[in-house]
Amino acid sequence: MSFTLAKTERLAAILSQTPVIPVLTFSDAKSGLETAKALRDGGLTVLEVTMRTPKALEALKAIVDEVEGVTVGAGTILEPEHVQQAIESGASFLVSPGSSSRLLGAASEAPVPWLPGVSTVSEAMQLSERGATFAKFFPAGPAGGPAFLKSLVAPLPELHFVPTGGIDMSNVQDYLKLRNVACCGGSWVAPQDAIDAGDWGKIQSLAKEAAALKAR
């Protein structure tokens, strides 16, 4: 089994801390530190740093080492080597846009929980067969949105989702009200233009608004 009870419980505890997980892309460690502090001060304490830039791991490690009160995961995990790199940088959980046999093998051996992505019923069933209780639903908007997830409640009642992609304050509550949604992921709480401009006040304000949301 790829998903152990211990790691599933740890992931459940992480996801239950927040209605929204900011999905973050950093070009340097300094912007990562300041963004993380602004999000934390706004009430969002679970963060996903995507592995999309050369400085991503450096930013993740800096946040883990220097920003108290946050739980930091590594996103856009695509290869087995990414798993080890993220763990060495201090990631508390891993997130992928999809899943593969190679990733399943690497993630099953990792000491931290993994949130794999799905966008179809077949993918969701395959993960459920392996013991998964949580999956990222990506890209949420193009893949069917809230209506798609609502249709999975009856056939897959044990599987819960973290929809990500195409979500903002205009539609996030449509997801959070669903029984099978644990929380949502999104970049709107820390827009790239605000990060680039160093507008930490704007990010804190957006985080405060998102933190006030309630799941179900």
The answer to whether the beta carbons of residues 85 and 65 sit under 8 Å apart is: no
The catalytic residue among 7, 37, 48, 61 is 48
**Does residue 136 have an active-site annotation?**
yes
Whether the pLDDT of residue 188 is over 60: the answer is yes
- Whether residue 166 lies inside any domain: the answer is yes
- Residue 28 has what pLDDT? 96
The catalytic residue among 7, 37, 61, 136 is 136
- Global pTM reads 0.96
CATH number of the CATH domain containing 155: 3.20.20.70
- Whether residue 214 lies inside any domain: the answer is no
- Whether residue 216 lies inside any domain: the answer is no
Whether the pLDDT of residue 2 is over 80: the answer is no
| Percent of the chain whose predicted confidence (pLDDT) is above 90 | 94
The answer to whether the beta carbons of residues 107 and 87 sit under 8 Å apart is: no
Quick: pLDDT tens for 56-104: 999 999 999 999 999 999 999 999 999 999 999 999 999 999 999 999 9
For residue 163, the tally of other CB atoms under 10 A from its CB is 32
- Whether residue 38 lies inside any domain: the answer is yes
Q: Which residues, in sequence order, are bridge partners of residue 136?
A: 117, 162
- Residue 216 has what pLDDT? 47
Average pLDDT over residues 21-42: 97
- Whether residue 215 lies inside any domain: the answer is no
Give the C-alpha separation, 166 to 149, whole Å. 14
- Whether residue 60 lies inside any domain: the answer is yes
For residue 78, the tally of other CB atoms under 10 A from its CB is 14
Tell me what the pLDDT averaged over the chain comes to: 96
Q: Which two tokens stand for residue 76?
A: 């856009």
Number of domains in the chain: 1
DSSP characters for 39-73?
A: HHHHT--EEEEES-STTHHHHHHHHHHH-TT-EEE
**Residue 31 CA neighbour count, 13 Å, CB half:** 21
- Whether residue 196 lies inside any domain: the answer is yes
- Whether residue 95 lies inside any domain: the answer is yes
- Residue 59 has what pLDDT? 98
Residue 142, domain extent = 5-209
- Residue 215 has what pLDDT? 53
